[in-house]
């Protein structure tokens, strides 16, 4: 019989939403006869089991119920329906500063939290030096925590949470607050706890951390589980969900702009008439931040494919990729050039190339003809979010400065890695070390030995 470290069965949580504080008072005074709230289900029928010694990532967009779920598991929030069963001691690192008294010093809060975790005064004194060393906040540990920065809060909270070697550790997005050095230290400590057999529930918006730490991922959306499985597969689903939400937002903004434009005069038509020559039907699936060109050609599709020719938006650093695009020509063009640019989330250009630089030359392309072009490469990029811009333009040899079609940010993808990588790129370095032979210290001759012998 398998004993699960954690079992969640048909868990649901309802909150009551009141428009005004007086509505809550009126409902209370009437014993609920006068209903003044509207129900909001933060979680609906959540069920899953977690095996001992595993690490499970809980991911999802803001407001999907992740924090509510962890609070119920940790015992700080009561479920409306359903049950949670756990085995062993649970330590939870939830929202910033939870469980801290701001008027107490760091040392006093350590004592209080240690007592709440069931530790004796002797155990606390034995662990105190390790907590101080891990938190690394210096003399502030003897100051009231209300004077702490957010980074100092999470340093102390994490140090306390991992100090007592819990059977189940719950971490809710806390690592996003600390600096890079502290994040690495926390990830290393979590891996040590994994090796010692601890069960970890880990909530994060960082896919790199989920892939590096977790053997399983659960995707929540609108209070329900929509995916449960291998981190790579679930993260792909999460990325598509986020991109769809962004697309829905852009569509809503576009509709609002269209309504505003319809109410204005027709004098606001676009100056560039060639833009209207783009094929709107073929272009329906493409989303981008900016587009320009003289309309001689039109990029009608763009996709980023993995080694199995499947569309992907979460990429392991170093993985082979294919960028494929199709271009329809509306006029005869001599020697067109196809290219792309990769930028990180700050807009910094990371890499770019085109068919002319790759010495792939085209002859004249006729009007109505469609060309498919593909770029194959290994994605040796650092952990980050990236966008790809595509272009088809004139040859620098025959003609300079003519853009037929250029679309910025047509593809978004995220690079993750099972190993932590610093910087913009992954140089895939290999570390080699060897022990040097120990040599006896060189004898220095004394002054007496250097003196000439008496003759």
Q: Are residues 168 and 307 in the same domain?
A: no
How many distinct structural domains can be found in the chain?
Answer: 2
Domain with 104 in it: what CATH number?
Answer: 3.40.50.300
Q: Are residues 211 and 285 in the same domain?
A: no
pLDDT for 161 equals 80
Range of the domain at 352: 276-416
Whether 440 is covered by a domain: the verdict is: no
Domain with 353 in it: what CATH number?
Answer: 2.70.50.60
Q: Are residues 282 and 354 in the same domain?
A: yes
Q: Are residues 56 and 178 in the same domain?
A: yes
Q: Are residues 199 and 283 in the same domain?
A: no
Q: Are residues 280 and 234 in the same domain?
A: no
Whether 131 is covered by a domain: the verdict is: yes
Question: Distances from the Cα of 308 to the Cαs of 52, 100, 304, 321, 322, in angstroms?
Answer: 34, 50, 11, 9, 10
Q: Are residues 296 and 234 in the same domain?
A: no
pLDDT for 172 equals 80
pLDDT for 326 equals 96
d(CA 118, CA 245): 44
pLDDT for 36 equals 82
Whether 246 is covered by a domain: the verdict is: no
26-48 burial string, b = 16+ CB within 10 Å, else e? ebeeeeeeeebeeeeebbbebeb
pLDDT for 179 equals 64
Whether 439 is covered by a domain: the verdict is: no
Whether 335 is covered by a domain: the verdict is: yes
pTM of this structure: 0.61
Whether 421 is covered by a domain: the verdict is: no
Q: Are residues 174 and 224 in the same domain?
A: yes
Q: Are residues 287 and 185 in the same domain?
A: no
Per-residue pLDDT tens over the stretch 69-111: 998 998 888 999 999 999 888 888 776 556 788 899 999 988 8
pLDDT for 74 equals 87
Q: Are residues 97 and 229 in the same domain?
A: yes
Q: Are residues 230 and 346 in the same domain?
A: no
Whether 454 is covered by a domain: the verdict is: no
Whether 298 is covered by a domain: the verdict is: yes
pLDDT for 259 equals 66
Q: Are residues 96 and 166 in the same domain?
A: yes
pLDDT for 413 equals 92
Full pLDDT tens readout for the chain, 455 residues = 457 889 999 999 999 888 888 888 888 888 777 888 888 999 999 999 999 989 999 998 888 999 899 989 988 889 999 999 998 888 887 765 567 888 999 999 888 888 877 778 888 888 888 888 888 888 899 999 889 887 888 888 888 888 777 889 888 876 665 566 777 777 788 888 888 888 999 888 777 678 778 889 999 999 999 999 988 788 878 877 876 776 666 666 666 766 666 655 554 443 444 434 444 444 446 888 788 888 999 999 999 999 999 999 999 999 999 999 999 999 999 889 999 999 988 778 899 999 999 988 888 899 999 999 999 999 999 988 899 999 999 887 655 668 899 998 899 999 988 777 778 888 888 889 988 988 776 665 555 554 555 54
Question: Last residue of a domain, which of 192, 210, 239?
Answer: 239
């Amino acid at each position: 019989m398998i004993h699960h470290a954690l079992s969640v069965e048909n868990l649901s949580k309802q909150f009551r939403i009141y428009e005004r504080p007086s509505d809550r008072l009126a409902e209370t005074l009437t014993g609920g006869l006068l209903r003044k709230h509207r129900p909001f289900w933060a979680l609906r029928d959540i069920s899953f089991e977690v095996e001992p010694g595993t690490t499970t990532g809980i991911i999802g967009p803001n407001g999907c119920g992740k924090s509510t779920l962890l609070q119920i598991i940790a015992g700080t929030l009561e479920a409306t329906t359903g049950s949670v069963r756990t085995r062993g001691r649970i330590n939870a690192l939830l929202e910033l500063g939870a469980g801290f008294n701001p008027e107490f010093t760091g040392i006093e809060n350590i004592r209080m939290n240690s007592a709440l975790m069931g530790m004796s005064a002797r155990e606390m004194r034995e662990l105190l030096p390790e907590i101080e060393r891990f938190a690394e906040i210096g003399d502030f540990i003897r100051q009231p925590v209300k004077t702490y920065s957010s980074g100092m809060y999470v340093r102390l909270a994490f140090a306390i949470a991992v100090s007592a070697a819990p059977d189940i550790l719950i971490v809710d997005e806390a690592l996003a607050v600390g600096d890079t050095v502290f994040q690495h230290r926390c990830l290393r400590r979590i891996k040590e706890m994994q090796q010692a057999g601890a069960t970890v529930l880990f909530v994060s918006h960082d896919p790199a951390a989920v892939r590096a730490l977790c053997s399983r991922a659960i995707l929540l959306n609108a209070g329900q589980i929509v995916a449960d499985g291998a981190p790579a597969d679930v993260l792909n689903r999460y990325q598509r969900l986020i991109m769809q939400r962004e697309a829905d937002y852009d569509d809503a903004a576009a509709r609002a702009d269209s309504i505003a434009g319809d109410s204005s005069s027709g004098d606001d038509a676009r100056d560039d008439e060639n833009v209207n020559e783009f094929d709107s039907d073929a272009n329906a699936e493409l989303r981008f931040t900016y587009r320009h060109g003289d309309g001689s050609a039109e990029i009608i599709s763009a996709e980023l494919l993995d080694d199995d020719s499947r569309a992907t938006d979460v990429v392991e650093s170093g993985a082979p990729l294919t960028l494929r695009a199709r271009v329809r020509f509306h006029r005869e063009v001599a020697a067109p050039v196809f290219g792309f640019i990769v930028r990180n989330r700050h807009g910094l250009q990371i890499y770019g190339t085109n068919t002319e630089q790759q010495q792939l030359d085209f002859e004249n392309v006729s009007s109505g003809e469609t060309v498919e072009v593909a770029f194959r490469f290994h994605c040796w990029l650092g952990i980050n979010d990236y966008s790809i811009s595509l272009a088809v333009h004139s040859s620098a040899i025959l003609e300079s400065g003519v853009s037929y079609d250029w679309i910025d940010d047509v593809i978004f993808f995220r690079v993750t890695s099972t190993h932590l990588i610093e910087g913009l790129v992954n140089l895939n370095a290999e570390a080699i070390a060897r022990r040097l032979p120990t040599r006896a210290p060189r004898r220095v001759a004394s002054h007496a030995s250097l003196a000439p012998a008496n003759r």
